[in-house]
Every structure is written in C-alpha cells, then in structure tokens.
Amino acid sequence: MHAWLPVPTIKSQYKRVIQAFSLTVSFFATTSIAADLTQTAKTAINHNSEPYVLMISIDGYRHDYNEVHKPKYITEFAEKSATVNQLMPSFPTVTFPNHLTLVTGLYPSNHGIVANRFYNPTLDRHYALSDRDAVTDGRFYQGVPLWSLAAQQDMKSATYFWPGSEAEIAGHRPTYWYTYDGRIPNEDRIKQVIDWFELPKQQRRNFVTLYFSDVDSAGHHHGPLAQQTYDAVQYIDSLIGSLLAQIETLPFDVNVIITSDHGMAKVDEFQRIYTDKLFGDNEALKSRFTFINDAAYSMVRANGKDKQQDLLALEKLVNDTEGLAFYLKGSVPNNLHFDANPSIGDAILVTNDHYITSTTAKPGVIRQARV
C-alpha cells in the first residue's frame, strides 16, 4: 500500500506569507498498481497485518511541479491517489521547522524548531542545521515524532535522513538512523530502505523515512522553472519509479507517503531589504538589535535596557519601509501560529514581495529563489 503527497505553492497576501501544497494519498496493493480501489481498501483494513510505512520527503518540491516538470512516475502515482487540493504548511515555510511539523503534528512554536537557525534563550544556545552539536541536542525539540511514537508502541523505525532524527526526542531515537551526509548517493539510500523492508519480520522496521535534497538545491540555485530544476525533478522521479517497483515485489503491503516541506518562488528580481540599513545613521539603535534573516522573514531580538522603547522605534522605521510588515511578539497574526516560543525573539518582520537580508550576509544557496 502506497501514498503520495506533493508540494507547496506560495499564496501570498499582504503582511503574511502562506504556502499551500497538495496532499495526495494513494493506496494500491503491492501485487498490482492498478488494483481495484475497493479491494485495496479491504487490504488496508486488514488489522491482522503488520503495519509498514515509508515516508519520503522531496525537499522543495513545489505543488505544481507535476504539471510544470511532468515527472512520469510521480504523476502516475498521484493520478491513482485520493487528493486534497490544498494544505498549508507551517510558518515559516523552511526545511527544519516543517519537517518537524510533519512528524510531530505540531506548529514550530510548539515543537521548538522555529527556524533553520535561531537562538534559544532558555538554553542560552544557538541552533543551526549545520551545527551537529545543536542538531543532536534533544533539549531543543518538543513533542513526539513518529519514530518515538513507534518506539512507545514497541515498533521499530529507521530514518535515512530526516531533520531531528539524530537527536533523542521524547526519550527515543529511531531504532536505526544516519548522521546526515548529503554526499551519500540517493541510490544507496534506496537500497538501504529496501534492505530494511526485506529483513526478517522480527527485525523489520515499521516506520521508515527517506529524504531527497536535489530538487530543493536546484530550485534555490537556479529558480523553480530552470532547466536544472527540471533535470532534478526528472532524476528524483526516476528514483521514485525504481523504488516503487521494488516495493511492489515485497510480499506485504507498505504505506508510502511522498511529501515535501515547502515550495519555491523566483526572487532574483525581488528588491532587497537590508535590516542593517533600516536604522539610517542611528548606529546606537542598530547596535541594540539582533536579526536572524531568512529571505521572507526575520526574527528580531532587542538587546538594550529599554526593549519596549527600542522596539517601538524599530516598528516606526519598518512601517516607513515599503513591502515590510512588523509584528511584535503577542501581535503576530493568529493564522501563523508563531507567537508562543521564546526562541522566536521579540518581533518578526515579514515580506511577500521583497527579500530580507543584510549587507554583511554571506552568499549562499538562496540566490535565485526563496521558499
């Protein structure tokens, strides 16, 4: 039994950034992709069978890539699916927060990973997806991810990469997990997944994750409509086709979920907003703020003695800046669910049609596109 979940598109409205992504779930018996839906449903409801789930993330796979880039196998999979036309990922729509939301069911402000990088004042520690010590520190994470839930039910799990899977969360790690290494060929990852499912029943993993970064990397470097992104989609599609074919040969059903964390927008022509230029020549006020910028939003922390006064002064400067919205903690729009964690800071800046950065920012992958 398999399932597929395609990816997000940005549905922007003034003062908020919202992405919507299609959620598609498809079920078919391993003996035949074209199995009758009624018979498949009966197979799925066989409570005597051992449950197996494979959850695949194609990072940065936008909601319309099936139509734009026409991947053969993913499209066929989606066509055999029950489809939810729109689902909103959590804010901010970036990799680590949304991957943790997918496996905990919690908003980032509740599961604790509020951005790809942030400062946690309770721990007095910085978190960044590139910081191995932070990523593996379970104190940053709240909630119960699916692999920990499986362990609580005496089930086995295995993750071939998933944000958060390297840390002990809710008292558990996956039964088997890997330290993230983007250099490991995707073909090797697929082989390991199949090997896990081919283990004897007593050793077999009930819940398995698999992660691909290629489409996201291409989108960030070249934009969502670029040839390089098309090539990345086609490559991952060929891998998905191979993986599904191998799963079909297993003598038991596997529930396959294919999803993503966010979409992609072309932003190379977006006007830049530099947070360090908001203050003009007021160097004293600028020195009392820390910004963590991530293109579509920025988390703001006031560090002076009179934070309230400084925040009001910053709010006035932001209100005079076209395309930028300012929200004090406690006044963030309810639909963003981004107001209940000290790691967020004292305020956030949000834009829909500009690009938030700073003059001191180092060049990175977010050049042609943003989530």
**β-pair partners for 274:** 357
Pick from 95, 371, 72: which is nearest to 233 by CA? 72
Q: Note the pLDDT tens digit of each residue in 158-196.
A: 999 999 999 999 999 999 999 999 999 999 999 999 999
Residue among 30, 95, 175, 209 flagged as catalytic: 95
Name the pairing type of β-strands 53-58 and 255-259: parallel
Check residues 44 and 237 and name the one with the higher pLDDT.
237
Q: Which of 17-31, 34-48, 254-268, 326-340 has the lowest mean pLDDT?
A: 17-31
Q: Indicate whether 46 pLDDT > 60.
A: no
pLDDT the model gives residue 50: 84
Q: Quote the CA–CA distance of 71 and 65 in Å, as a whole number.
A: 8
- pLDDT tens profile 123-170: 999 999 999 999 999 999 999 999 999 999 999 999 999 999 999 999
Q: What is the predicted pLDDT for the residue at 89?
A: 87
pLDDT tens digits, one per residue of 284-301:
999 999 999 999 999 999
pLDDT tens-digit readout, 223-269: 999 999 999 999 999 999 999 999 999 999 999 999 999 999 998 88
Q: What is the pLDDT of residue 9?
A: 33
Average pLDDT over residues 315-331: 96
Give the phi and the psi of residue 279 in degrees, each rounded to 5: -90, 0
Structure tokens at 269: 């022509």
Q: Name the helix (H) or strand (E) containing 192.
A: helix 186-197
Is 95 a residue of the active site? yes
